[in-house]
């Protein structure tokens, strides 16, 4: 009796001090706080500590040096908005005054990036392609890149996801996803008429696809957007872009006349190649966005 009460009193005191929880005794024993031990510093530790100290000091020194170099450069830049800047030349005026006439695009930004500067946009699309290719190399789970632990973990998580399906998310996605995809298609197709274009519309479509994949599971996306479709769309869109602009790239845009009629400005079928290029860029961007999500989340498309 006295032993039991003494035990209870000691536990109660420990509980008051916040050292253990009011649980059964065998659980309580595991919750006792371990005394904090600090090992004696050995000579090697001292050396490492000294090195860490040196590391901090040198990091600050390097940062200060970089800041100084950058500030020195900034002070030697030409003044913002001055008339002698290299940026204020006759190119901008030409784009603004004759852009509509020469490219046929009402949206002057689209006319610039997909006609005058189509080569730059081609480079940007290739950057996206390279990004998704390197993510594929790193994260694709194929024969050579499988860890058993991860597989077990993934299967476990999939079971949990199947058991806890989110009804609210599904219902909302039912309504919202078609609107998002339609808006993305609208922005891409009207790139030469209204604000937007390939990049914005493609990222909207990619976001819609990701929302669909989150709410309905990647298996549903696979029924219409699998690995083969992904490959065909990305490579096909890039090839289409390259082939339709190849003559301009090789001749420096000076050699040939524009043989495609520009049409009436404001109509959807106008502005020559810009509509086609917008669609190509939009497809590449949408596939890249969805590819990033699918590869990071599951390691497969």
Distance CA 203, CA 179 (A): 14
The SS3 assignment for 276 reads helix
204/237 with CB nearer another protein: 204
Distance CA 225, CA 266 (A): 33
Q: Is 129 in the site for another protein (CB under 8 A)?
A: no
Tell me how far, at minimum, the Cβ of 34 lies from another protein, in Å.
21
Phi-psi region of 257 (alpha: psi -120 to 50; beta: other; left: phi over 0): beta
* Contact flags string 169-198 toward another protein, x per CB under 8 A: ------------------x-------xxx-
Q: Is 210 in the site for another protein (CB under 8 A)?
A: yes
Rounded to the nearest angstrom, the gap between the alpha carbon of residue 163 and the centroid of all alpha carbons in its chain is 29
Distance CA 281, CA 286 (A): 9
Tell me how far, at minimum, the Cβ of 208 lies from another protein, in Å.
9
28/135 with CB nearer another protein: 135
Query: Which has the closest alpha carbon to 217: 172, 155, 161?
Result: 161
CB of 181 closer than 8 Å to CB of 208? yes
| Residues 57-116 within binding reach of another protein (CB under 8 A) | 107, 109
Q: Is 297 in the site for another protein (CB under 8 A)?
A: yes
20/230 with CB nearer another protein: 230
Tell me how far, at minimum, the Cβ of 213 lies from another protein, in Å.
10
Q: Is 221 in the site for another protein (CB under 8 A)?
A: no
Q: What angle do CA 159, 154, 133 make, to 5 degrees?
A: 135
Q: Is 292 in the site for another protein (CB under 8 A)?
A: yes
239's tokens? 């090839």
Q: Is 214 in the site for another protein (CB under 8 A)?
A: yes
The SS3 assignment for 272 reads coil
Tell me how far, at minimum, the Cβ of 56 lies from another protein, in Å.
19
Out of 95, 122, 199, 241, the only residue in the binding site for another protein (CB under 8 A) is 199
Residue whose token pair is 């800047």: 85
Binding region for another protein (CB under 8 A): 107, 109, 187, 195-197, 199-200, 203-204, 206-207, 210, 214, 289, 292-293, 296-297
């Amino acid at each position: 009796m006295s032993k039991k009460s003494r035990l209870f009193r000691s536990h109660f005191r420990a509980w008051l001090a916040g050292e253990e929880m009011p649980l059964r005794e065998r659980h309580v024993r595991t919750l006792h706080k371990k005394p904090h031990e600090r090992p004696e510093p050995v000579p090697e530790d001292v050396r490492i500590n000294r090195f860490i100290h040196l590391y901090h000091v040198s990091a600050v020194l390097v940062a200060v040096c970089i800041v100084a170099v950058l500030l020195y450069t900034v002070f030697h830049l030409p003044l913002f908005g001055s008339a002698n800047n290299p940026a204020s030349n006759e190119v901008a005026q030409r784009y603004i005054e004759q852009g509509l006439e020469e490219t046929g695009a009402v949206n002057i930004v689209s006319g610039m990036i997909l006609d005058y500067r189509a080569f730059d946009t081609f480079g940007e699309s290739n950057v996206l392609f390279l990004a998704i290719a390197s993510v594929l190399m790193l994260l694709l789970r194929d024969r050579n890149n499988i860890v058993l632990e991860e597989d077990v973990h993934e299967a476990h998580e999939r079971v949990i996801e199947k058991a806890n399906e989110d009804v609210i998310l599904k219902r909302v996605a039912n309504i919202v996803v078609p609107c998002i995809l339609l808006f993305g298609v609208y922005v891409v197709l009207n790139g030469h008429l209204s604000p937007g274009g390939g990049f914005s519309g493609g990222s909207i479509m990619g976001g819609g696809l990701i929302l669909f994949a989150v709410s309905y599971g990647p298996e549903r996306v696979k029924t219409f957007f699998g690995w083969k479709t992904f490959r065909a769309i990305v490579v096909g869109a890039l090839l289409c872009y390259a082939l339709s602009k190849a003559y301009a790239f090789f001749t420096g845009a000076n050699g040939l006349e524009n043989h495609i009629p520009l049409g009436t400005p404001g109509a959807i079928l106008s502005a020559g190649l810009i509509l086609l290029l917008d669609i190509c860029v939009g497809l590449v961007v949408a596939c890249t966005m969805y590819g990033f999500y699918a590869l990071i989340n599951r390691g497969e498309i």
